[in-house]
Structure 1
Amino acid sequence: MVSLDLCKPAIEKVITSISDILNVDAAVINERGLLVVSTERYLKQKGENVHVPSIEFVLAKGQYVVDKPGSMEMCKGCRFLDSCPAKVELLSSIKVANHAIGVVSLTSFTKEGQNRLSKHTERYQQILTEVSEMITAIVQSHATRQIESSHDSIRLLEGALDTVADAYFTFDRSGNVIHTNASARRLLSQHELLPAEISRMLLPSLSGMAAHSLPIANCLVDKLDAPTEATPIIVNNQLIGGVLRVQRGSLTVPRLIDHQGSRSSGKTDSLAQIVGNSPAIKQVKEMAMKIGNSSSTVLITGETGTGKGHLAKAIHEASTRAFYPFVAINCASIPENLFESELFGYEDGAFTGAKKGGKPGRFELAEGGTLFLDEIGDMPLSLQAKLLRVLQEKVVERIGGTRSFPINVRIIAATNQNLEELVEKKAFRADLFYRLNVIPIHVPSLAERKEDIELLAVSFMEKYGEQAGRTFFGIAREAMSLLTHYHWPGNVRELENAIEYAMNMEQDTVLTADSLPPRLRARPTVAPSHSGPAIKARVADAQADAIRASLQKHGSDLKGKQRVAEELGIGLRTLYRKLKLLGI
């Protein structure tokens, strides 16, 4: 809030100087009619309190000449009515951002001064305008310094709160949530809630306020599913807001935050989760490191099962958005008629069966963070145009809504399809492809990074050994030979499944060849040729074998196909497309 009183020393220098130069008295009065600074004679003649209606009149009008002090309409009610010591006054409002915050006055208490100011009124008014602008500049400069200092303090406090495991919501006297820490934002994302919904559930609590606590509505506790408490903030016996604390003891707390809000070790930690030392995967990691501070859209391509989703999450966690939500949506798994409401949300009563109070879309849930659009190639054409608009204009409108609101979300998309071919076939919009393909990253297949197979196999063994409470000391040489010579059409996901299978079958503390899935043991130990049509035919055969085996296991009805798609890690629409392509 700007204030003339805070700038008193600088304004006093201006007023003293202008009074000496012009040989008139001068004063600055705030909007409440209180004297801020003045010449000694002005204070002695008129006192510290100025007639408020007169000040309000000038504040509204901007500039005014009082050529008959004590006898004018604006003087009614003034203690100096009909006996004002001033002979003439020139008044001008002081404005900051088009808001009048006070008045500057040039006043004469002598006949000589009255004649001079009256004769050259226009000239003195121009000088008065310049003085007013000088004072405005002083106030704005002070306010800017105050804001910068305030912003530094706020950033420091926000950074400190972001290291706390518990979720904190700060709300105003009306119950409106005005700030959330990183844990609170994750909590909102987890429960698909908006701050406004927390506010609505907080509102009844304000009427039951006690001295040191606020009662918590049962619906709020049920919704957040965690121990919750609210504390009022009271200043001068007035409630100005409060803090809602939700215990989240199980969360991992980041240890260090830099001034931009990103974790100092976040990039190393998150990208270290991508296992591998091959040149191909190192190149992927290096590129992910480079784009950590960028907000540009990323398009990740690669075969099914290469770990595109893991890479997207790692890019998010290595970025300056790491403390905000990472929200994923699989474009192949959502029915077309529900896709728009999932992505953009809807208002109350938008359609039959709409949730009361509406529902936030994935864009809203990802505010400040990252939205991961997996299998983007399966997005319906009808939705592609709407997504393009959001990417271009950075605004979202809910279904049934009447207003658009801005969003701050980074988009990472992924696909196992050739989008350029889809563009040529008119199955994917060219303009959306170019909008998404700002930073393309290709994840190599496991066949292209065979030197990583041993590292990956060991990491999966450790992962599932810990989950099962068993200890394995390694993988037998013969088993590792089978793993490294298999062509892995299902890539890293297939390798992970194979290791999990082996650990369930193995009775010893070392994984042997006999415990591996039969398909690995049945294959020749010679790596297949990587020549164009031959490798494509082999991959197609392997995919067909895997799909047939899964269909036989789960059945070919709708529920069976849904389980098949889930087991193979693909969307239902992708499964149908492969069934048609492979003639199954």
Structure 2
Amino acid sequence: MPKGVGGKTGYFKDKLYLILNSDTQYISELTFVLDNDILITTYPHWRNNMTYLMDIQADAQRVANAINAALGLEVTISDSDYNLVASSRGYFSSKGSVLNSSFKAELFRSQKPIIVENPGYHPYCADCSWAKKCPEKALILTPIIFRGQVIGDIGLTSFSEEQKNKILNYHNEYIEFLNQMGEFLTVKIAERAVHNELLIFSEKLVNAINFTEEGLIYTDSIGTITLCNTAAAQLFNMSSNEMRGLNVINVLPSLPLKKIESLDNETWESELIFTRQNRKYHLLVSARSIKVKQKVEALIISARDMQEVRQFVYRIGGTGKLYSFEDIIGNCQSMRAVKDLAKEIANSVSTVLLLGETGTGKELFARAIHCSSSRHNKPFIAINCGAIPDTLLESELFGYEDGTFTGGRHGGKPGKFEMANGGTIFLDEIGDLPLYLQVKLLRVIQEKEIERLGSSKTLPINVRIIAATHKNLEKMVRQGEFREDLYYRLNVIPIYIPPLRERADDIPLLIEHMIKKYSNLLSKNITGISDKAMKALMNYEWPGNIRELENCIEYAINIEKDTVINLSSLPSKLLQKTISTNCEKNDAKPFREKIDNVEKSEIITLLEKYKDMANVKEKVAQELGISRATLYRRLRKYNIVIK
């Protein structure tokens, strides 16, 4: 008996050391398996059994060579489809790649080793091409079991009497040794599986981080960039290969690394403004440290251009509906001329000044101009310069840095100009802008850059300015209330929007639109307006313009009980002004007579409305807000007979 055989695998291990001493890593792997009862039981389920051993064919061949050299016996390693994966040279030169499928079928069924003393004469050899002429003298087949299934086998075979005697005399030791070599192969299979899974995971990770639009940067513990996505490379005008290996401070010079590393389970976030390679950057940056046992091992940093952030917020949240010129109701000659001019200059970058009385729809025109311009998918930001106190207006327009104000927002706040960058800003009631802010606005228009309050850094902006006012700016300039240079900067393209009294032909169209709008909104079945009510609205001066008309129609629909708006449903203030106006227009008729005519007409209308009701007089009196006795007096006065 050879030395070491009594110690099971000791003898074979000694010889393996001698054979593989040139590859210390490989022999250490073999020794680790032989010294420890390792059985890998996990592997991706999508693999076919026959591919396991083929995946590690090179390793299988090395194992076959090592066993052959250690034991002096011929070796075969085959898969579950009876394909020869690896073999010793002696076996291949004697039998080529032919394997006995009958033996292997039995091996796969029983999952137990098989010992054959006389190959070629065994019953399983009857159908083999080597039957009764097989050069093999004896053989051992041991299954390779992985995840409870036989995925192949390792065979020891002999082609001489000496080899045959070794197999028969030491078959138990050989079987145990081959089982352990099979376990070694399953370790290699598992390693390959983990390697493949890591490759797949790595590919998924790379695709995932490249899919996001924000720049992602990963660093090691000292800030060296180890990975970045495509968005980050494009943001800094570099390739991914150029960024890898750089310290992150070379890319984000104002990043507070120490502060980020000091945070536990917190994300640091702030806006960073800096200049790199003659280019100004304004980024929203988030960063977080990855710690293992309180030691920083890596940093994850995301960066995004602030203009893109604002555009994203604008697309998702919006800043109010953007109207087109088709949404502006009006077909009179003056309105058609205004809309044609606004369409013509929509794509210009020049400043627009919208002039007109309160309530004429200046903001509607501003939104329509923006919507029809090349900036339509960029922000539209509106601010009313007269609605914000002077002390707050500057920070609203230009923003402020962190720490500028007590109680200010942490990290500072962008102003309306920053938010509108790339798009349009609408400065309503520009005539209410204080003189000291007029200077700053003039600089913004001329230099196309802003400074936040509390900061000395300038931010470039690309904004189309549309201003609006109901005031006479030329008069304000003469009186020293508005800067002349700013006026000329704003008044590049003046557009005058006519008041409603100058476009009376559009009133029916507006009323029709408003009736539909508020009938749906208030769930009322109002389909139109009576002739008398329409006449009253047409004769009214409308000092509040379209805004007042809309208020009037909403009021009427709220209180109207019929399917059309009647004269009695209009606001009393409007009726009084209408009567007064009509009296002034026609002095031939006494004032009292005009009032009597309106009153008589209204009583007749209501009597007709409630004629089918039993309590018609009571309903009419209630509608007019008078007592029944007063109603009887009015009926006698106007000679009205109830049928």
**Superposition TM-score, scaled by structure 1 size:** 0.48
- Structure of higher CA gyration radius: 2
